[in-house]
């Protein structure tokens, strides 16, 4: 199946999911996950109007950002402190902020580099952190305190990778987002849902879905 047909199919799914949930499809961002995909295919996707792409690895994303400086790459994979500087320099946004010490490191570097990078907090409500990364709800206040409402690292929202067998996971995330919005006094977006569960994620209130194989096809390397 061609890239165009896959995109058409995904947009149709989003449209149907939004109709069922009473939502506007224009409020849902489809973020293509371009991990292990060639720059040529990313360029093809850009011709369909996509300008932002999710990457899991700092070096791979940095290489693609250098090859396609007109596009924006979003880090959705785990970030080690020793790779924080290249991550800030090369990615337009970081979605995997998950611990206070990383927030402090990013704040220091953002000030040193004199740049602004939107961040998302990756949360883990299901004890999956050892596998996928993420901040527990208990540790969330410490992470938010470490972020400190820093204007160089504006908080955009919450990102999560819920366990696929947990039917209530999306509702839990939506409830957490709602609580945090009230506590912080600012709107927060919610990034959850992938190829197999985007309908349930949209129904629960997701603002962004992250799609890899269903968008690009099988990875080539």
Dump pLDDT digits (tens) for 89-139: 999 999 999 999 999 999 999 999 999 999 999 999 887 655 567 999 999
% pLDDT > 90, the chain? 89
The answer to whether position 161 is within a domain reads yes
pLDDT higher than 60, residue 12: yes
The answer to whether position 220 is within a domain reads no
Residue pair 124/80 in contact (Cβ under 8 Å)? The answer is no
Pairing of strands 119-122, 93-97: parallel
Backbone dihedral angles phi then psi of residue 156, each to the nearest 5 degrees = -95, -35
Average pLDDT score over the chain: 94
Q: Please give the pLDDT value at position 167.
A: 75
Residue pair 98/110 in contact (Cβ under 8 Å)? The answer is no
Beta bridge partners of 33: 54
Q: Please give the pLDDT value at position 220.
A: 60
Residue 32 pLDDT grade (very low, low, confident, very high; cuts 50, 70, 90): very high
Q: Kindly report the length of the chain.
A: 221
Question: For residue 141, how many other CB atoms are within 10 A of its CB?
Answer: 13
Domain membership of residue 52 as a residue range = 3-212
Whole-model pTM: value is: 0.94
Cα–Cα distance measured from residue 93 to residue 74, given in angstroms and rounded to the nearest whole number: 5
pLDDT higher than 90, residue 26: yes
The answer to whether position 113 is within a domain reads yes
The answer to whether position 66 is within a domain reads yes
Q: Report the CATH number at residue 129.
A: 3.20.20.10
Q: Please give the pLDDT value at position 108.
A: 97
pLDDT higher than 90, residue 53: yes
SS (H, E, C) 139-196: CHHHHHHHHCCCCCCCEEEEECCCCCCCCCHHHHHHHHHHHHHHHHCCCCEEECCCCC
Residue 218 pLDDT grade (very low, low, confident, very high; cuts 50, 70, 90): confident
Domain count, the chain: 1
- Determine which of 62-71, 78-87, 146-155, 165-174 has the lowest per-residue pLDDT on average: 165-174
The answer to whether position 218 is within a domain reads no
């Amino acid at each position: 199946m061609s890239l165009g047909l896959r995109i058409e199919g995904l947009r149709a799914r989003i449209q149907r999911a939004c109709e069922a949930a009473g939502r506007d499809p224009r409020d849902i961002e489809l973020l293509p996950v371009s991990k292990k995909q060639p720059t040529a295919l990313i360029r093809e996707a850009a011709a369909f109007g996509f300008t932002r792409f999710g990457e899991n690895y700092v070096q791979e994303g940095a290489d693609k950002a250098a090859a396609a400086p007109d596009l924006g790459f979003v880090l959705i994979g785990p970030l080690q402190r020793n790779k924080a500087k290249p991550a800030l320099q090369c990615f337009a946004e970081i979605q995997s902020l998950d611990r206070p010490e990383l927030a402090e490191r990013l704040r220091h570097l953002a000030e040193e580099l004199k740049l602004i990078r939107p961040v998302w907090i990756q949360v883990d409500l299901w004890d999956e952190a050892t596998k996928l990364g993420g901040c527990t709800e208990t540790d969330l206040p410490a992470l938010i305190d470490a972020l400190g409402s820093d204007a160089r690292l504006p908080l955009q929202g919450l990102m999560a990778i819920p366990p696929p067998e947990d039917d209530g996971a999306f509702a839990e995330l939506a409830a957490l987002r709602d609580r945090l919005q009230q506590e912080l006094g600012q709107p927060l977006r919610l990034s959850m849902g992938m190829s197999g569960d985007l309908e349930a994620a949209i129904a629960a209130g997701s603002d962004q879905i992250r799609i890899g194989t269903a968008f690009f096809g099988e990875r080539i390397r």
